[in-house]
């Protein structure tokens, strides 16, 4: 099962499968010191519709299984060399097999049934094509779901959290009617971190300027902390990013600590985890989980793609609150 936050046919593929397909279409140039942004963690995150902070785990699993190689290359627009990813021989073999299995599937386009392979052109990227197919295997002219690295279209629920954050930052920056150089630098770092398309960014800026519903900087910073804590840890790159914002927003260490405590109490969960979390709270209403409830929760975990570790972590937090 794939993540429930990704709509259409793409949601039936796992994050690893989507990553293999993306890397098979975006090859690492040989004998060059530069690599395209699409092969960085941000680029992969945007293409496969998964929040930026979940990508390292997926890539680590693929690397451990011998499916991907990692190397450092210069990426246009980045200040320092970045980790970039490519398929190993085994990874290529698996992606070729997966592509074959997908392209023989039948879809319906304008009432006519045809094989998926009849729609793909040599220059097409397979994830782009699959983004036009819904869960009932019906092809749509416009994408059912669009990565944030594309200028248009509806992003997955996972990516929408990033979009909301960028929009709120713009609202804050537009407060005095203009965006300073420092504010631009700050926003561009987040945009780069999320792998967002420039036109998408411009649209968010324009929306924020029109709405002028300006949240205070503490609220935006708390939002960022909640986003970063989705899987209970803050990765190194996020620490650097948060620090840049903390200084820019004039938030001192004491306020940071207070907001961090608040964020830990009420983190933002992806939709699948939130659904499971809410069900778990209901089951824990009387302080115990019955045998029937336990069986139901196990089924729900499977269908929502919630790991045993995530279940244990949520349960511990709920028990702490009930004490």
> What phi and psi values does residue 112 have, to the nearest 5 degrees?
-105, 135
Q: Where are the beta strands (DSSP E) in 37-154?
A: 68-73, 82-87, 106-109, 112-115
Cα angle for residues 52, 58, 64 (degrees, 5° grid): 145
**CATH number listed for the domain at residues 9-99:** 1.10.10.10
The answer, yes or no, to whether residue 157 has pLDDT greater than 70, is no
CB-based contacts of 20: which residues, under 8 Å, 6+ apart?
62, 67, 87, 91, 94, 95, 98
pLDDT above 90 covers a percentage of the chain that reads 23
The answer, yes or no, to whether residue 277 has pLDDT greater than 80, is yes
Q: How many CA atoms lie within 13 A of 115 on its CB side?
A: 8
Q: Which helix (H) or strand (E) holds 19?
A: helix 15-25
Residue range 75-113, pLDDT digits in tens: 876 667 888 999 999 999 999 999 999 999 999 999 999
Q: Per the structure block, which two tokens stand in for 163?
A: 């979009």
Q: How far is CA 34 from the centre of its chain?
A: 25
Q: How much is the pLDDT for 4?
A: 42
Provide the residue ranges of all domains of the chain, joining segments of one domain with +: 9-99, 157-265, 272-322
The answer, yes or no, to whether residue 121 has pLDDT greater than 80, is yes
Of residues 295 and 176, the one with the higher pLDDT is 295
């Amino acid at each position: 099962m794939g993540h429930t936050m990704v709509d259409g046919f793409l949601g039936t593929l796992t994050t690893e499968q989507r990553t293999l397909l993306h890397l098979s279409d975006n090859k690492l140039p040989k004998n060059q010191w530069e690599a395209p942004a699409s092969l960085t963690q941000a680029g992969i995150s945007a293409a496969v519709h998964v929040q930026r902070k979940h990508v390292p785990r997926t890539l680590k699993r693929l690397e451990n299984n011998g499916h991907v190689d990692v190397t450092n290359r210069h990426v246009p627009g980045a200040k320092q060399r970045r980790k970039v990813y490519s398929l190993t021989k085994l990874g290529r073999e698996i992606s070729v097999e997966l592509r074959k299995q997908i392209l023989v599937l039948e879809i319906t386009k304008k009432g006519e049934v045809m094989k998926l392979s009849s729609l793909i052109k040599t220059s097409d990227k397979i994830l782009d094509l699959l983004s036009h197919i819904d869960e009932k295997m019906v092809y749509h002219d416009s994408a059912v779901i669009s990565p944030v690295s594309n200028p248009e279209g509806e992003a997955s629920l996972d990516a929408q959290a990033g979009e909301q954050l960028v929009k709120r930052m713009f609202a804050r920056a537009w407060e005095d009617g203009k965006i300073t150089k420092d504010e631009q630098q700050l926003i561009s770092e987040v945009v780069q971190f999320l792998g967002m398309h420039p036109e998408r960014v411009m649209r968010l800026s324009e929306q924020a300027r029109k709405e002028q519903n300006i949240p205070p900087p503490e609220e935006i910073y708390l939002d960022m902390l909640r986003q970063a804590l989705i899987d209970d840890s803050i990765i190194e790159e996020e620490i650097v990013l948060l620090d840049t914002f903390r200084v820019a927003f004039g938030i001192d260490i004491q306020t940071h600590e207070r907001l961090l405590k608040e964020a830990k109490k009420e983190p933002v969960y992806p939709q699948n985890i939130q659904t499971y979390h809410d069900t778990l709270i209901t089951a824990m209403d009387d302080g115990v989980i019955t045998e029937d409830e336990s069986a139901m929760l196990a089924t729900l975990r499977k269908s929502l793609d919630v790991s045993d570790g995530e279940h244990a972590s949520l349960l511990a937090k709920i028990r702490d609150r009930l004490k």
